[in-house]
Amino acid sequence: MSLPRPVTDALDTALDKVVIAGYSSIGPALRRRWWPADPQAGALEGRHVLVTGASRGLGLAAATDLARLGASVHLLGRDQARLDEAAAGIRISVPNAQVLPEACDVSDLDDVRAYAARTLEAVPRLHALIHNAGVMPETRTESAQGIELTLATHVVGPLLLTELLRPALAAAEGSRVLIMSSGGMYSAPLGGAWPRDLQYREGTYRGIRAYARTKRLQVLLAEQLATRLDDDGIVVHSLHPGWAATEGVVESMPAFNRALRPILRDAQSGADTLVWLTAAPEAASSTGLFWSDRKPRPTTYLPWTTEDPRLRRQVWDAVAALAGIDHAPA
Ligand SMILES: NC(=O)c1ccc[n+]([C@@H]2O[C@H](COP(=O)([O-])OP(=O)(O)OC[C@H]3O[C@@H](n4cnc5c(N)ncnc54)[C@H](OP(=O)(O)O)[C@@H]3O)[C@@H](O)[C@H]2O)c1
């Protein structure tokens, strides 16, 4: 029996508000009864897709499913041996998979420039650029260029990589940039003092807070890039995967992992919306939205978390300056 749309919409929103139900494996178990159809078999045949953070966890799960849909998948991570191992695993799961592992540290802007130059030569048309790489360091750490590590990995590096690969994205019809944020971004609304201290130099550093702030910045990044890349027909979305059992969660949030392990999503389920946004034609008919479980979601829930446009602009200017790109509006 299929339920009428107003009923499924109300159920879906209620699941989102009861965070533990919506974010855990319960969310997709219920929502798959009404969410949009799976991408068609072979939907990505002949298309190139680049996944950062593809050596394990959600990135590896997404890369596997994208290869299954026929894409040539470029696997990016910091370590060539780990990427080669991930590629071998994908080839076992998906016979004839086209996977191209190549190391790059997205937090290192010099490495990003060199990697982008090689990619532009090899890949004239890029269907999707997926920014999935993520970190949650325990102590304040800096990238090769002296940028706080979560900011460099989640925001500055991805912005520069997007900018440099723009010609290849613009050359592909229906191309998209997808940014894997986190539901944790709801705990760091863009307000108060922290947006003026993007590098987290003030106060006691807490990795989980740095993570949440930069995951909020990824949502802003998607919105800004959506405007900036619109003329080239490139859509940009951010998303959150729910709570999924990955090595990253075990290492960075062991207590959370122990408490919720029985109801965490598996990596494939955590990667579902990422894969769907990459392959589904529906994703190209809007831009700048924040998704979860195949549906756009609000980026703030409380009225006092509405963002000040001047602050958004200041933050965007600061991030663009760190990436060394022209930060004029689109
Ligand atoms: N799992 C969850 O429940 C959950 C929830 C919300 C959001 N997310 C987001 O989903 C994404 C994936 O999470 P996950 O749980 O799969 O994490 P994970 O298991 O820790 O995997 C992270 C991946 O990022 C790569 N990486 C880290 N720093 C990098 C860098 N500087 N350059 C290139 N690659 C880098 C790692 O590869 P190497 O170490 O080999 O470089 C690894 O492949 C993250 O952005 C995370 O914030 C996850």
Per-residue pLDDT tens for 225-280?
A: 999 999 999 999 999 999 999 999 999 999 999 999 999 999 999 999 999 999 99
Q: Is residue 255 part of a domain?
A: yes
Ligand 1 atom showing the smallest separation from residue 131 Cα: 45
Nearest CA to ligand 1 atom 36: 53
Percent over 90 (pLDDT), the chain: 88
Q: Is residue 86 part of a domain?
A: no
User: 53 alpha carbon to ligand 1 midpoint, in Å?
Assistant: 5
User: 224 alpha carbon to ligand 1 midpoint, in Å?
Assistant: 23
Instruction: Tell whether the model's pLDDT for residue 303 goes beyond 80.
Output: no
Q: Which residues contact 282 (CB under 8 A, 6 or more apart)?
A: 36
Substitution candidate for ligand 1 out of 115, 130, 135, 178 with most atoms within 8 A of CB: 135
Q: What pairs with residue 276 in β-bridges?
A: none
Q: What is the pLDDT of residue 4?
A: 79
Of the candidates 92, 99, 93, the one whose C-alpha atom is nearest the C-alpha of residue 76 is 99
Which CATH number covers residue 157? 3.40.50.720
Ligand 1 atom showing the smallest separation from residue 57 Cα: 16
- Indicate whether this model's pTM tops 0.85: yes
Substitution candidate for ligand 1 out of 78, 209, 240 with most atoms within 8 A of CB: 78
Nearest CA to ligand 1 atom 18: 248
Q: Is 211 a catalytic residue?
A: yes
Q: What pairs with residue 329 in β-bridges?
A: none
**Three-point CA angle 73, 76, 80, nearest 5°:** 115
Q: What is the pLDDT of residue 304?
A: 65
User: 227 alpha carbon to ligand 1 midpoint, in Å?
Assistant: 26
Q: What is the pLDDT of residue 274?
A: 98
Q: What is the pLDDT of residue 328?
A: 54
Ligand 1 atom showing the smallest separation from residue 58 Cα: 16
List pLDDT tens digits, range 76-104. Answer: 999 999 999 999 999 999 999 999 999 99
Q: Is residue 249 part of a domain?
A: yes
Q: Is residue 96 part of a domain?
A: no
**Which residue among the candidates 23, 186, 200, 211 is catalytic per the annotation?**
211
Q: Which residues contact 193 (CB under 8 A, 6 or more apart)?
A: 202
User: 98 alpha carbon to ligand 1 midpoint, in Å?
Assistant: 22
Kindly list the distances between the CA atom of residue 3 and the CA atoms of 9, 274, 310, in Å, as whole numbers in the listed order. Answer: 10, 26, 43
Query: What is the CB < 6 Å shell around ligand 1?
Result: 52-59, 76-79, 82, 105-107, 132-135, 153, 180, 182, 240-241, 243-244, 246-249, 270
Kindly list the distances between the CA atom of residue 196 and the CA atoms of 39, 66, 274, in Å, as whole numbers in the listed order. Answer: 42, 38, 31
Q: Is residue 173 part of a domain?
A: yes
Q: Is residue 125 part of a domain?
A: yes
Q: Sign of the CA dihedral 246, 251, 256, 258?
A: positive
Ligand 1 atom showing the smallest separation from residue 55 Cα: 43
Task: Specify the 3-state DSSP secondary structure of 152.
Answer: helix
Nearest CA to ligand 1 atom 33: 77
User: 54 alpha carbon to ligand 1 midpoint, in Å?
Assistant: 8
Ligand 1 atom showing the smallest separation from residue 153 Cα: 31
Task: Specify the 3-state DSSP secondary structure of 241.
Answer: coil
Report the alpha-carbon distance of residue 70 to residue 64 in Å, rounded: 10
**Three-point CA angle 132, 137, 140, nearest 5°:** 125
Average pLDDT of the chain to the nearest whole number = 94
Q: Is residue 180 part of a domain?
A: yes
Residue 330: band (very low, low, confident or very high) from pLDDT cuts 50, 70, 90: very low
Q: Which residues contact 29 (CB under 8 A, 6 or more apart)?
A: none
Q: Is residue 224 part of a domain?
A: yes
Kindly list the distances between the CA atom of residue 116 and the CA atoms of 35, 70, 119, 123, 176, in Å, as whole numbers in the listed order. Answer: 35, 23, 5, 10, 17
What are φ and ψ of residue 68, in 5° steps? -65, -30
User: 57 alpha carbon to ligand 1 midpoint, in Å?
Assistant: 7
Instruction: Tell whether the model's pLDDT for residue 329 goes beyond 80.
Output: no
Q: How many domains does one find in the chain?
A: 1
Q: What is the pLDDT of residue 294?
A: 97
Tell which phi-psi region holds residue 277, choosing left (phi > 0), alpha (psi between -120 and 50) or beta: alpha
What's the domain range around 201?
A: 57-72+107-323
Sheet holding 98-103, edge to edge: 98-103, 72-77, 48-52, 128-131, 176-180, 235-239, 290-292, 295-296
